[in-house]
Amino acid sequence: MSLLHGVLYRNPRSNFPFYKYYSHLIEIENIEDKKSCIFVQFDIEEFYPSISRSLLDKAISHAMKFTPISNDTLQAILHSRKSLLFTDHQTWVKKSDDPEFDVTMGSYDGAELCELVGLFILHSLTETYGDNACGLYRDDGLCCFHNITSSAADKIRKDITSLFKETFDLKITIKTNLKIVDFLDVTLNLESESYKPYSKPNSSPVYINTQSNHPPNIISVFQV
């Protein structure tokens, strides 16, 4: 996956608001005249399994503008899209035009491809709405716009929905005219110009023993 590492983290031209870490959201402090702004929040429905061969090809072609991709690397990426799932002694077959193509959840490979496609999506949004207007973390998207009317916000909703359907063949749920959003693990408030931690209802903190044999990088992200 050195290809994806190069596209996402090493190449300075790949300068999109891609929320690789939650700390990036703290940049809300840099938004000017927050009270005149609104959020537009969207969620990509069933993102991983909805990534098609066509969409991945477009994302890879976009990535090749920033970094060279060898044919061996390309073949390895495409070969890894073949997956086998079994249930009750039967083979699960994906209902699509290419049942052998899949971007699986729960794997490093799938997550990296999801982010590669995400960068292509951000590129398209940036072409329409400018730099830093929209950001994306996997299947969760957030945009911020200044001084727009309710009708303009609704047009943005329709345009983004159409973009995802016609260009990416993806479905999204989207909300506009928001002053307060719960995005990832943070609540962002434009009215009070503040942010605070957010936890989903009924979620409980996870604790592990500091003396456990988990790798140090795993222990460091948990409360101890």
Which of the residue ranges 69-73, 98-102, 159-163 has the most confident prediction, judged by mean pLDDT? 159-163
pLDDT for 83 equals 73
Beta bridge pairs of residue 91: 86
Q: pTM score, two decimals?
A: 0.77
Tell me which of 105 and 128 has the higher pLDDT. Answer: 128
Q: How many helices (H) and strands (E) does the chain have?
A: 7, 9
pLDDT at 23 over 50: no
Q: Quick one: average pLDDT of 84-105?
A: 73
Q: Is 54 left (phi over 0), alpha (psi -120 to 50) or beta?
A: alpha
